[in-house]
C-alpha cells in the first residue's frame, strides 16, 4: 500500500484514504465545440502510460477530499513528490518521463 | 519427437534421461520475414499460426525475459466466452473453439478442463444483467445458462447460499464449456510447435527501438542483441505495449495496472469448477496440484511494478471467506501481480496500426489468457493478409476516434 503525502493536509496517509485520478496536466479543451474527432480522441483516451516518472492526479477522498498531483515512478511505485492542483510539475521531477 | 504413450513408456524404461529438449533457444539472424515482439502465449502462438497456417516460417519471437514469464504465467487461467456484445462473443468463442482440441493439435497437453465457469449473482442488478448476457449469448451460439441458488450449490458444494449471508447467492450464470488450462503448457506447447517449423525464439532480448523507412514503413527492430530486420512486426507486449508503441511514435489508448492473484497451500480436490463473483471481485478455482487459485481486481493506479497492495488481496479474501466459509482457515502460499493493459472500453485492440507493417494485439486487460489461441490465430491472420479478418475487424485502434466502442465495461459493470 502506498503512503501518500497530501499537500493540503500536510500529512502522510495510507493509500486507502485516496482515490486515483489518472494522468495529470491534461487540459480541458477551451472550446469543445470546435474540436475535431482526432483532438477528442487525444483528450479523452490517449494516455502517456509512462514507464518511469509519471505525473498523476490523486484525490484525498477520505480526508480533505481535494485533488492534488503526484510524480510517481511506475516501476518502483516510489512517490517522488506531491504538489497542489494548478501548480506546474516541479522541474526537478520532469526528467525520466520519456513519453 | 512426437509424444505418445509409447514414447512415455520408452523414456520411463531409460529413466527419463533421454527426453529431447522441447524447443531450442535461438540467436537472432540479421533478417526475418516477420518479427513478433512479446513471447507470451499470444506472441508465441501467433508465430506458430504464421508458420502452420500461412507457411511463413522465417519468423522470430523476441522476448525481453523468458517466454511465458509475463502475464501468461501470472493469470488465473480462466477460460470463458460469455461476453455480451456480438463482436466480443464471436471473438472469445473463436478462442474457446480453438482451446477445444489444442492439446491434440500441439501434441502437448495444455490441460484444458471444461469444468464450467459459474458467475454468481448477488443482487437484482446482477440477475438482470446475467440473464441479459445469457439471452445474448444463446443468440450467438454461445452456451450459457441460468442456475438457481440451489442449483449453484449442487454444482459447487463449497458455496454458502444461506439467505442471510454477507454476499447472498441469488443464482448464477453457468458456461459449461468454460474452465481452465495449464498456463505454462500453452506457451511451451506453442513454442515447441513453432520451433519445429523453423521459428526462432529469442529470449533475454529487449526491443529498444523500431526503425522506420522514409515512407514510414517498418524496417526492423533494434534490440539488446543488435538490429533485426523485418518488413512485418507484430506487437503482443501486454502491459508494456505503450512503451513499445512509443518507439514507433504512436500513442495508445491504454493504461497499465497491476492485477494480483494468489494461491493457497495444496489440498485434496474440493472445488469442482470456476466461480467468479464480479460484484465483490473474487475469482476462484482449484489447480490440478490442489492449490486454490484466487484472482483479485486491479490496483487503482498505473504501474509496471508487477506487485500490488495488500488491501486489494484482503478485500478479495474477505469476499472468498464470506462466500466459501469452509476456506476461512486455508493458508495462502504466495501472491504476485501481472501488469495488464486496459483500454477505455475494456475490449482489445487487434489489427493494423497507422504504421505500415506494424500490427498490434493489445488491450486484453484483465482477461487475456482465455483468448490466447484466438488472439494468436487472428494476429497471424492479420500479419499474413495485411488485413484483419471478420472476427477481429471491429477491434480497431480507430474506434476511439469514431466512437464505435465495444463497451464490455459498461455491459458488465466490472473489469473482466
Closest-approach residue (CA) in chain B for A38:
B401
* Largest distance between two CA atoms of chain A: 42
Chain A: closest CA distance from residue B6 (Å): 49
Per CB-CB distance under 8 Å, the chain A contacts of B314 are none
Q: Is B290 on the interface with A (CB under 8 A)?
A: no
Residues 6+ apart with CB under 8 A from A27: none
Q: Which residue has the cell 482457515?
A: B329
Q: Is B298 on the interface with A (CB under 8 A)?
A: no
Say if the Cβ atoms of A76 and B305 lie within 8 Å: yes
Report the residue of B399, B401, B403 to disrupt the A interface, i.e. the one with the largest count of A CBs within 10 Å. Answer: B401
Query: Which phi and psi (to 5°) does residue B368 adopt?
Result: -80, -25
Separation of alpha carbons B298 and B278, rounded Å: 12
DSSP label at residue B365:
G
C-alpha cell at B189: 506447447
Say if the Cβ atoms of A45 and B253 lie within 8 Å: yes
- Ordered DSSP codes for B135-175: HHHHHTT---EEE-HHHHHHHSTT----TTSSS---EEEEE
- Nearest Cα to Cα of residue A69 among A82, A88, A54: A82
Whether the model pTM is above 0.90: yes
Go through the domains of chain A in sequence order and give each one's CATH number.
3-97 (3.30.2270.10)
Say if the Cβ atoms of B301 and A41 lie within 8 Å: no
Chain A: closest CA distance from residue B218 (Å): 20
Chain A: closest CA distance from residue B194 (Å): 31
B23-69 tens-digit pLDDT: 999 999 999 999 999 999 999 999 999 999 999 999 999 999 999 99
Say if the Cβ atoms of A47 and B301 lie within 8 Å: no
Say if the Cβ atoms of B400 and A45 lie within 8 Å: yes
- Nearest Cα to Cα of residue B349 among B398, B408, B412: B398
- Picking from A20, A50, A98, the nearest residue to B301 by CB comes out as A20
Element (H, E) at B293: strand B292-298
Cα separations (Å) of B181 from B76, B287, B290?
Answer: 9, 9, 14
Q: Which residues of A touch B (CB under 8 A)?
A: 1-2, 15-16, 19-20, 22-23, 37-38, 40-42, 44-51, 54, 56, 72, 74-77, 98-99
Q: Three-class SS string for A67-81?
A: EEEEEEECCCCCEEE
Say if the Cβ atoms of A15 and B309 lie within 8 Å: yes
Contact A35, A49 (CB under 8 A): no
- Ordered DSSP codes for B88-129: HHHHHHHHHHHHTTHHHHHTS----B---EEEEE-SHHHHHH
Q: Is B243 on the interface with A (CB under 8 A)?
A: yes
Say if the Cβ atoms of B401 and A38 lie within 8 Å: yes
Contact B214, B50 (CB under 8 A): no
Contact B95, B370 (CB under 8 A): yes
pLDDT, one tens digit for every residue, chain B (416 residues): 899 999 999 999 999 999 999 999 999 999 999 999 999 999 999 999 999 999 999 999 999 999 999 999 999 999 999 999 999 999 999 999 999 999 999 999 999 999 999 999 999 999 999 999 999 999 999 999 999 999 999 999 999 999 999 999 999 999 999 999 999 999 999 999 999 999 999 999 999 999 999 999 999 999 999 999 999 999 999 999 999 999 999 999 999 999 999 999 999 999 999 999 988 888 999 999 999 999 999 999 999 999 999 999 999 999 999 999 999 999 999 999 999 999 999 999 999 999 999 999 999 999 999 999 999 999 999 999 999 999 999 999 999 999 999 998 756 545 44
Per CB-CB distance under 8 Å, the chain B contacts of A75 are 304-305
Contact A83, A69 (CB under 8 A): yes
- Picking from B252, B301, B304, the nearest residue to A75 by CB comes out as B304
C-alpha cell at B383: 500479419
Q: Is B256 on the interface with A (CB under 8 A)?
A: yes
What is the length of chain A?
Answer: 99
Contact B130, B278 (CB under 8 A): no
A30-51 tens-digit pLDDT: 999 999 999 999 999 999 999 9
Amino acid at each position: 500500500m502506498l503512503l501518500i503525502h497530501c499537500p493540503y493536509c500536510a500529512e502522510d496517509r495510507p493509500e486507502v484514504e485516496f482515490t486515483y485520478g489518472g494522468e495529470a496536466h491534461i487540459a480541458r479543451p477551451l472550446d469543445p465545440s470546435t474540436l475535431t474527432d482526432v483532438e477528442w480522441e487525444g483528450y479523452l483516451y490517449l494516455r502517456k502510460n509512462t514507464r518511469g516518472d509519471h505525473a498523476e492526479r490523486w484525490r484525498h477522498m477520505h480526508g480533505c477530499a481535494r485533488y492534488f498531483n503526484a510524480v510517481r515512478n511506475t516501476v518502483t511505485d516510489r512517490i517522488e513528490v506531491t504538489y497542489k492542483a494548478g501548480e506546474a510539475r516541479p522541474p526537478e521531477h520532469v526528467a525520466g518521463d520519456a513519453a | 519427437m512426437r509424444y505418445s504413450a509409447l514414447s512415455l513408456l520408452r523414456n520411463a524404461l531409460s529413466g527419463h534421461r533421454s527426453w529431447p529438449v522441447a524447443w531450442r533457444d535461438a540467436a537472432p539472424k540479421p533478417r526475418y520475414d516477420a518479427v513478433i515482439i512479446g513471447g507470451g502465449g499470444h506472441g508465441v502462438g501467433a508465430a506458430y499460426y504464421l508458420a502452420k497456417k500461412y507457411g511463413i516460417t522465417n519468423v522470430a519471437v523476441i522476448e525481453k525475459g523468458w517466454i511465458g514469464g509475463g502475464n501468461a504465467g501470472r493469470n488465473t487461467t480462466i477460460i470463458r466466452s460469455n461476453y455480451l456484445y456480438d463482436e466480443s462473443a464471436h471473438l472469445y468463442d473463436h478462442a474457446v473453439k480453438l482451446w477445444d482440441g489444442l492439446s491434440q493439435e500441439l501434441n502437448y497437453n495444455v490441460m484444458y478442463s471444461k469444468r464450467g465457469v459459474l458467475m454468481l449473482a448477488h443482487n437484482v442488478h446482477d440477475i438482470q444483467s446475467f440473464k441479459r448476457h445469457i439471452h445474448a449469448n444463446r443468440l450467438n451460439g454461445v452456451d450459457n445458462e441460468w442456475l438457481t441458488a440451489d442449483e449453484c450449490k449442487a454444482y459447487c458444494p463449497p458455496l454458502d447460499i444461506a439467505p442471510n449471508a454477507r454476499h447472498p447467492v441469488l443464482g448464477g450464470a453457468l458456461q459449461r464449456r468454460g474452465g481452465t488450462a495449464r498456463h505454462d503448457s500453452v506457451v511451451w506447447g506453442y513454442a515447441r510447435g513453432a520451433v519445429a517449423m523453423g521459428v526462432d525464439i529469442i529470449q533475454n532480448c529487449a526491443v529498444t527501438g523500431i526503425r522506420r523507412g522514409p515512407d514510414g514503413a517498418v524496417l526492423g527492430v533494434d534490440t539488446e542483441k543488435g538490429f533485426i530486420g523485418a518488413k512485418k512486426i507484430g506487437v503482443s507486449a501486454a502491459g508494456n505495449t505503450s512503451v513499445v508503441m512509443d518507439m514507433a511514435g504512436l500513442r495508445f489508448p491504454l493504461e497499465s495496472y497491476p492485477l494480483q492473484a494468489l494461491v493457497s497451500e495444496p489440498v485434496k480436490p474440493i472445488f469442482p469448477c470456476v466461480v467468479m463473483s464480479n460484484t465483490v471481485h473474487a475469482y476462484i478455482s482449484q489447480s490440478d496440484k490442489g492449490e486454490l487459485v484466487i484472482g483479485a481486481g486491479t490496483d487503482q493506479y498505473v504501474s509496471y511494478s508487477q506487485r500490488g497492495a495488500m488491501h486489494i488481496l484482503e478485500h478479495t479474501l474477505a469476499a472468498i471467506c464470506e462466500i466459501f466459509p469452509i476456506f476461512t482457515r486455508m493458508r495462502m502460499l504466495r501472491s504476485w501481480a501481472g501488469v495488464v493493459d486496459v483500454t477505455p472500453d475494456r475490449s482489445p485492440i487487434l489489427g493494423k496500426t497507422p504504421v505500415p507493417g506494424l500490427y498490434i494485439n493489445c488491450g486484453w486487460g484483465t482477461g487475456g489468457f482465455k483468448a490466447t489461441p484466438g488472439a494468436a490465430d487472428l494476429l497471424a491472420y492479420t500479419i499474413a493478409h495485411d488485413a484483419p479478418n471478420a472476427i477481429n475487424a471491429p477491434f480497431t485502434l480507430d474506434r476511439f476516434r469514431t466512437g464505435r466502442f465495444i463497451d464490455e465495461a459498461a455491459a458488465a459493470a466490472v473489469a473482466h
